[in-house]
Amino acid sequence: MTDVITPPTTTDAGIRIPQVFEPTEHHGHEEHGPTGLLKWLTSTDHKVIGLSYMITSIVIFYIAGIMALIIRLQLTSPTNSLVSFSQYNELFTMHGSLMLYLFAGPFAFGGLANYIVPLQVGAPDMAFPRLNALSYWLYLSGSITMLLGFLVAGGAASFGWVAYAPLSNATNSPGLGGDIWIMALVLTGFSAIFTGVNLVATIFYLRAPGMTMFRMPIFTWNMLVTAILILIAFPVLTAALIMLFCDRHFGTHIFSVQGGGSPVLWQNLFWFFGHPEVYILALPFFGIVTEVIPVFSRKPVFGYKGMVFATLSIAALSTGVWAHHMFTTGVVLLPFFSLLSLLIAVPTGIKFFNWIGTMWRGHLLFATPMLFSIGFLFAFLMGGVTGVMLASPPIDFFTHDTYFVVAHFHQVLFGTAVFAGFAGLYYWYPKMFGRLLRDNLGKWHFWLMFIGFWVCFMPQYVVGLLGMPRRVAQYPADLGWQSYNIISTVGAFIIAASFAVLLWNLWISWRKPVLCGDNPWDAHTLEWFTTSPPPHHNYSHLPPIRSERPTWDYNHPDAPSIDHGVGRGHDANGHNGSRKEMVSS
């Protein structure tokens, strides 16, 4: 094979791209079945379903974002009457529910994973394509059901996204809104479980020849672990929701004291789902960053195996830390949950050092996906440090349910789902459409969002420490909280502006495409070996898979081989890694 590496070219979008062209002719873009709308309605192709997931979840993201803006506007003055108390409760309940259940998770394991994982392991589709379609349609109907809550008498659910019993029972939250909320989550819960099954089966059974477990890209690894966590956590949530529904309608007293039930049981069940859920929302995005940083540093992932084991230990620990959300209930064993929660910092730290190690002595190119990934590092570092503080019960006692916690989990979740999530969108958009998103607009998006992020959430830490509780529509005027809230609202609107830029970018890049070839980033992993967008069944032929970077190996046969650091400068085959050596001549 003689590959031609042309000198770097500059695209219309202003990115310097080391173009790698395959001399082989592009396999024909065969299409099966219906086209147009009917294709989107009937397809079982993982790529079409993945795109449907992504489009739906990004629409949800914008809707939930608008709710956040209304919430922030309400808080600009202490006794604002922009929305009523009940509307405010509905707004933050739905903001949280949409963002957590219907955006962050489905965008990652429904959208990106659906599209990318089969490509990364060299499979023609997901293991159960029809189940996959069912997942999407359950998710879509769940999302529509959730939004319909606003239309029923009594309004949408207003008991918070955690639906603590007994506030969520029929006495304290009567009306259809709560029932609709429960049913929507049962639908999307089943959707998530089916996707989890599908991902596990795909990754275990449909890997291409040569794609051993330790040659899988980290994104695929993280999706495997995420899928396992889904299978652990979501059945618990779905079961708990059905119990709650029975409490509301059939006179069971599972979560009410009057009938001998226990409200704390709801918290235990919910957080036994809820804390793995936090990592269901985080691990896919760690995976995205671990794809992006090596490509734009031109190096392999530093400490690949350490990364895998760190992910596995995060998953294992995450099933034993749920009660750190319940430190102030007074009925949990504080030292146990505190220690396990603190320990999660260790594998997370390993990930941080591996990301830094990947960049170390690399050749960094700051295209938009890389910028978003580095933004993620800063955001998640801040969220992580405050997370360690919250793992200590005496500190949690005075920050629990205040804006300190709000700031913490927004920095974590915004850092992962938004910074890393949109890094993934910018990174894989060329894979999906064979065209680039504009890089200059992408940088506008990034910098506005990065600035808005800090302006929005840092004041919330301060006002939280001053004692401002979360989920309040009004607050006393004489405590000096207003200025912090105004700054925070300004930040929220800067973030909103950045997402207007993204819309414009999507529109302009669609109308005036910048074609980019199959592999604009000179990326490493298998999905970039096929055409962009990939043909119906993904691959007509595969490269030899000898490492976790088959496409890189194929495109750079003369590149220095991987330095395993064993015996100083010699790789496992005894080649000297520090010299350029013709391994595959």
Partner 1 sequence: MDVWRKARHPRSRRAGDPQASADAGPPPLSTRLSRVRSKLSSVRARRLLPLAVLAPIVLAGCQLPDFGAYKGATSQGRDAYKLWQGFFVAGIVVGGFVLCLIVWAVFRYRRHHDAEIPRQTQYRHRIEILYTVLPIFVVVGLFVFTVITENEVDAVPKSPVTVDVTAFQWGWQFYYPSTGKVVVGETLEEPQMVLPVNEQVTIHLESADVIHGFYVPEFNFSRYAQPGVVNTFNFNVLHTGVFRGQCTQLCGLYHSLMIFSVKAVPPATFDSWVHQTSGRQPSIGQLKAQIHANGPGA
Burial of residue 486 (CB within 10 Å: 0-12, 13-18, 19+) is middle
Among 164, 433, 454, 504, binds partner 1 (CB under 8 A): 164
Nearer to partner 1, 5 or 500 (CB): 5
- Judged on CB neighbours under 10 Å (0-12, 13-18, 19+), 497 is middle
Q: Is 130 or 363 the residue whose CB approaches partner 1 more closely?
A: 363
Given candidates 232, 264, 486, 497, which one binds partner 1 under the rule CB under 8 A? 264
Q: How far is the CB of 362 from partner 1 (least distance, A)?
A: 5
Vertex 449, ends 445 and 453: CA angle to 5°? 175
* Residue 575 lies near partner 1 (rule: CB under 8 A): no
Task: Please answer whether residues 96 and 88 qualify as being in contact, where contact means their C-beta atoms are separated by less than 8 angstroms.
Answer: no
Q: Compute the distance between CA of residue 13 and CA of residue 308 in angstroms, rounded to an integer.
A: 35
- Residue numbers 231-250 binding partner 1 by CB under 8 A: none
Q: C-alpha distances in angstroms, 45 versus 111, 220, 534?
A: 12, 19, 11
> Using N-to-C axis directions, what is the helix angle for 113-121 and 218-249, rounded to 10°?
140
By C-beta, is 88 or 457 nearer to partner 1? Answer: 88
Please, which residue, 184 or 468, has the CB nearer to partner 1?
Answer: 468
**Stretch in the footprint of partner 1 (CB under 8 A) among 35-43, 46-54, 315-323, 556-564:** 556-564
User: b vs e for 137-170, b when ≥16 Cβ sit within 10 Å of the residue's Cβ?
Assistant: ebbbebbebbbebeeeeebbbbbbbbbebbbbbe
Tokens 């009523």 map to which residue? 84
The least distance separating partner 1 from the CB of residue 377, rounded to whole angstroms, comes to 5
Output the smallest distance, CB 512 to partner 1, in A: 26
Q: Which of 415, 577 has the CB closer to partner 1?
A: 577
Closest to partner 1 by CB, 42 vs 171, is 171
Among 331, 477, 500, 503, binds partner 1 (CB under 8 A): 331
251 is a site residue for partner 1 (CB under 8 A): no
* Among residues 26, 34, 59, 172, the one that binds partner 1 under rule CB under 8 A: 172
Contact status, residue 39 vs residue 54, Cβ threshold 8 Å: no
- Please identify, using beta-carbon distances, which residue of 46 and 325 lies nearer to partner 1: 325
Dig out the tokens for 162 from the structure: 């955690």
Q: Which of 188, 311, 488, 561 binds partner 1 (CB under 8 A)?
A: 561
Residue from 14, 469, 480, 513 in contact with partner 1 (CB under 8 A)? 469
Rounded to whole angstroms, how far apart are CA atoms 457 and 418? 14
**336 forms part of the interface with partner 1 (CB under 8 A):** no
Binds partner 1 by CB under 8 A, chosen from 252, 319, 474, 576: 474
Position 83 contacts partner 1 (CB under 8 A): no
Could you say whether residue 520 binds partner 1 (CB under 8 A)?
A: no
Structure tokens at 186: 């049962």
CB of 457 to partner 1, least distance (A): 14
Task: Count residues near partner 1 (CB under 8 A).
Answer: 102
Characterize the bridge pairing of strands 4-5 and 20-21: antiparallel
Q: Does 562 bind partner 1 (CB under 8 A)?
A: yes
Among positions 170, 343, 508, 542, the unique one binding partner 1 when judged by CB under 8 A:
343
Cα 95 → chain centroid:
16
Q: Which is nearer to partner 1, 280 or 308 (CB)?
A: 308
Q: Is residue 584 near partner 1 by the rule CB under 8 A?
A: no
Other C-beta atoms closer than 10 Å to the C-beta of 580 total 11
How many CB atoms are located within 10 Å of the residue 560 CB?
15
The residue from 42, 81, 212, 329 that contacts partner 1 (CB under 8 A) is 329
Q: Which is nearer to partner 1, 305 or 511 (CB)?
A: 305
Sign of the four-CA dihedral 119, 123, 127, 131: positive
Cα–Cα dist 178/511, whole Å: 42
Q: How far apart are CA 545 and CA 543, in angstroms?
A: 6
- What does the alpha-carbon distance between residue 41 and residue 496 come to, in Å, rounded to a whole number? 31
Closest to partner 1 by CB, 137 vs 378, is 378
Q: Which is nearer to partner 1, 128 or 353 (CB)?
A: 353
Q: Check binding of 299 to partner 1 (CB under 8 A).
A: yes
Q: Which of 361, 511, 582, 585 forms a contact with partner 1 (CB under 8 A)? A: 361
Site for partner 1 in 392-411 (CB under 8 A): 392-395, 397-398, 400-402
